[in-house]
Amino acid sequence: MRQHITFRNKSDSISVHMERRSLIVICVLFFLSLSAVIAGTSLGNTVIPPLEVIQSILKIGSGEHDFVIHTLRLPRVLVALLVGAALGVSGAILQGIIRNPLASPDIIGITGGASVAAVAFVTFLAGTVSISFMPLAAIVGAMIVSITIYLLAWKNGVTPIRLVLVGIGISAIMGAGTTFMLVMSPYFTAGKAYIWLTGSVYGSTWEDVYLILPVTAVIIPCVVILARNLNLQEFGDEVATGLGAAVQRQRLTLLAFSVLLAGVAVSIGGAIGFVGLIAPHIARKLVGRPFGSLTIVSALVGSLLVFVADWLGRTAFYPLDIPAGIFTAGVGAPFFLYLLFKNRNQL
């Protein structure tokens, strides 16, 4: 029985190495995500039988539920899955590079940057500029803040610890900025900004799907291909450089991927917390350290996390629609403490 399966192209320049067990896990999770699309679309206050959902998606159904499925539920389910995938991979990259189990887009300030930009947008520009430009503002914010963090952490190279610490400091400044705007803006807008800050995929449309789908579809495979290098990095700078990987360059590329993924996810779903932290940990439990499969599994786990959170949010207190971020925080925050306790010897 073969333990490893290797995918490679002819020139051998790209190769993805995968354990048998990982392949099974990925298949199972992929199947689960697919069922989530069906189940998520069929479950709601009005349950639409799964068969009808499939018929409707394939456009061979009676058309009775087409509106609810195509306009309301399906885009929302897809956005939840894609946002989760983006956050999961973003977190996996950060944890890999920073070699710190507590790293995630929320902790080191990427989410903070996106939030400040988005809240500023709502506070100062809502009403004058169409709200559909908010995602753009969030992505730009995430980008600027991450570049700032990276540059500030630069001192003959970037050490993971310095990156985390600078990120935490910048996070605090961003938090102050956000609070400032929340206090300053008329109270009703503050309430709106708060829902957004918690993170929610309420009101997702196909436009959101079209925005996030290409990004995840391009970047996640790139990350998987670059994965070999990250496997080396986990040994530490010295070992990795010794093995010939141009550490800083790879690190920069991967960080940029991570920021893009997180920025796009936040721009659409708001600051859905802790997914970038938890997903890679669950993934590591399932498939271990090899980074290629870890990336894929993190994406799938992240998808399912956000999906379940959102599904609970829209059904648990029906007809109230609770932001998905509340549920991810409810699971994520205690998990964070557990991680802290578990990793007490490694920090």
Partner 1 sequence: MFHLYASVKMKVAGFCLLLLLLTGAFVSSLIFGRTPLTFSTAMQAFLHYDAALIEHVVVLTERLPRAVIATVVGASLAVAGALMQALTRNPLASPSTFGINAGAIFFIVIAIVVFSVSSLVQLTWVAFVGAAISAVTVYSLGSMGKDGLTPVKIVLAGTAITALFVSFTQAILVLDETGLQDVMFWLAGSISGRTLDMLIPVLPYMGVAGVMSLFMGRAINLLITGDDIAKGMGQNTLLVKCMMGAIIVLLAGSSVAVVGAVGFIGLVVPHLSRAFVGNDYRLLIPFSALAGAVLLLSADVVARLLIMPTEIPIGVMTALIGGPFFVYIARKGVTKI
Partner 2 sequence: MFKLGKKSLLVLASMVLLLSIITGCGTNGQAGTTTDSSKPAAENQAQGTTNTQTSEAESVRVIEHPMGKTDVKGTPKRVVTLYQGATDVVVALGVKPVGVVEAWGEKKVFDYLAADLEGVPLLGLETQPNLEEIHKLKPDLIIASKFRHEEIYNQLSAIAPTVSTEVLYDWKATLKVASQALNIEEQGNKLLADWDSRVADFKQKMGDRLPIEASIINFRADHVRIYYMGYAGTILKELGFTRPPGHDADTWGVEVTSKESIPDMNADVIFNFNYAGKDAEANKKTADDWMNHPLWKNIDAVKNNQVHQVNDIIWNIAGGYKSAHMLLDGLYDTFKLQK
347 forms part of the interface with partner 1 (CB under 8 A): yes
176 forms part of the interface with partner 1 (CB under 8 A): yes
106 forms part of the interface with partner 1 (CB under 8 A): yes
Residue 248, number of CB atoms within 10 A of its CB: 13
Question: Minimum CB separation from partner 1 for residue 90, in Å?
Answer: 16
Q: Which does 272 bind (CB under 5 to 8 A by kind): partner 2, partner 1, none?
A: none
Identify whether the C-beta of residue 28 lies closer than 8 Å to the C-beta of residue 36: no
Give me the DSSP letters along 125-161. IBTTB-GGGHHHHHHHHHHHHHHHHHHHHBSSSB-HH
Bond into 214 cis (ω within 30): no
Bridge-based pairing of strands 15-19 and 4-8 is antiparallel
83 forms part of the interface with partner 2 (CB under 8 A): no
Contact residue for partner 1 among 183, 238, 244, 319 (CB under 8 A): 183
Structure tokens at 324: 């998905």
Return the number of the residue (130 or 345) whose C-beta is nearest partner 2. Answer: 130
318 forms part of the interface with partner 2 (CB under 8 A): yes
77 forms part of the interface with partner 2 (CB under 8 A): no
Contact residue for partner 2 among 49, 169, 203, 236 (CB under 8 A): 203
Question: CA 145, CA 175: separation in Å to the nearest integer?
Answer: 12
244 forms part of the interface with partner 2 (CB under 8 A): no
68 forms part of the interface with partner 2 (CB under 8 A): yes
φ/ψ bin of 156: left (φ > 0), alpha (ψ from -120 to 50), beta (otherwise): left
Return the number of the residue (227 or 255) whose C-beta is nearest partner 1. Answer: 255
278 forms part of the interface with partner 2 (CB under 8 A): no
Contact residue for partner 1 among 63, 157, 191, 203 (CB under 8 A): 191
Could you say which DSSP state residue 72 is in? I
Which residue's structure tokens are 């349950």?
A: 47
List Cα–Cα distances, 263 to 30, 269, 289, in angstroms: 24, 10, 25
Backbone dihedral angles phi then psi of residue 5, each to the nearest 5 degrees: -125, 130
Structure tokens at 131: 């709200």
136 forms part of the interface with partner 2 (CB under 8 A): yes
Residue 255, number of CB atoms within 10 A of its CB: 22
Q: Which stretch binds partner 2 (CB under 8 A): 163-171, 287-295, 316-324, 325-333?
A: 316-324
Q: Tell me the three state secondary structure of residue 118.
A: helix
Judged by CB under 8 A, the chain residues 89 through 128 that form the site for partner 2 are 126-127
45 forms part of the interface with partner 1 (CB under 8 A): no
Which string of b and e fits 76-112 if b means at least 16 CB within 10 Å? bbbbbbbbbbbbbbbbbbbbbbbbbbbbbbbbbbbbb
Amino acid at 174: M
188 forms part of the interface with partner 2 (CB under 8 A): yes
Bridge partners (DSSP) of residue 332 are: none
Question: CA 41, CA 58: separation in Å to the nearest integer?
Answer: 13
Q: Which does 321 bind (CB under 5 to 8 A by kind): partner 1, partner 2, none?
A: partner 2
Instruction: List residues near partner 2 by CB under 8 A.
Output: 44-46, 67-68, 71-73, 126-127, 130-133, 135-136, 139-140, 143, 156-158, 183, 186-188, 191-192, 195, 200, 202-203, 205, 207, 210-211, 214-215, 237, 241, 246-249, 252-253, 256, 260, 264, 267, 314, 318-321
Instruction: List residues near partner 1 by CB under 8 A.
Output: 100, 102, 106-107, 152-153, 155, 161-162, 164-166, 168-173, 175-177, 179-180, 182-184, 187, 190-191, 194-195, 197-198, 273-274, 322-323, 325-326, 329-330, 332-334, 336-337, 339-341, 343-347
